[in-house]
């Protein structure tokens, strides 16, 4: 069985939705999310593609935020020429989770209000909703881990439902 492809100039398969497509502004928003969520160096044939946040981990918050904004502006301008970024907002939440919101308009469009595309990053520079081990207090972290060696936010000390649970000490992602 063959699915019909969209009859529009720009489209791509929708991430996480089998057999679906994104077009128009949704296509542009997904392309921006892909750029931001791809660490530089992770694609063997395109080592410069993406956006890296690893080099700002140990910087003071103000300086790190400025570097993230510059990295986002440069990466989106380089790899998604169909959009013009009007603003980048970085919200640094507790325990190393940052939320980057890119406000953009399609290139050449002067009438549309900016569209917001948001991506969350943990302190390891990867997109997602998990908190890195080292953010919990000691080198390597202290808390129950998921299968990826990351402390889910619901398992952080002080989170609802954590009363009476003894954290597991880890060193470099291995349970001691």
Average pLDDT (53-82) is 84
What average pLDDT does the structure give for the chain? 71
User: Average of pLDDT values for 167-176?
Assistant: 41
pLDDT (0 to 100) of residue 68: 87
Domains along the sequence of the chain with CATH: 11-121 (3.10.450.40), 130-176 (no CATH)
pTM (2 d.p.): 0.64
pLDDT at 166: 44
92 bridge partner residues:
98
| Residues 73-124: tens digit of each pLDDT | 999 999 999 999 999 998 876 556 678 899 999 988 888 899 999 888 765 5
DSSP class of residue 7 equals S
pLDDT tens digits, residue range 136-158?
443 344 445 555 555 566 655 55
Q: Could you report the per-residue pLDDT of 30-50, keeping only the tens digit for each?
A: 899 989 888 888 888 989 998
β-partners of residue 139 are none
């Amino acid at each position: 069985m063959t699915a019909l492809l969209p009859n529009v100039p720009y489209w791509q398969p929708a991430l996480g939705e089998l057999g679906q497509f994104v077009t128009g502004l949704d296509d542009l928003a997904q392309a921006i999310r892909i750029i931001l969520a791809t660490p530089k160096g992770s694609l063997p044939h395109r080592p410069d593609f993406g956006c890296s946040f690893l080099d700002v981990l140990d910087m003071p918050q103000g300086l790190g935020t400025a570097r993230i904004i510059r990295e986002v502006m440069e990466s989106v301008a380089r790899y998604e020429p169909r959009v013009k970024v009007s603003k980048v907002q970085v919200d640094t939440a507790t325990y190393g989770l940052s939320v980057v919101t890119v406000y953009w308009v399609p290139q050449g469009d002067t009438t549309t209000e900016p569209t917001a595309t948001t991506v969350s990053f943990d302190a390891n520079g990867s997109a997602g909703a998990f908190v890195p081990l080292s953010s919990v207090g000691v080198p390597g972290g202290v808390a129950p881990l998921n299968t990826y060696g990351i402390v889910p936010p619901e398992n952080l000390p002080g989170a609802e439902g954590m009363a009476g649970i003894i954290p597991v000490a880890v060193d470099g992602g291995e349970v001691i």
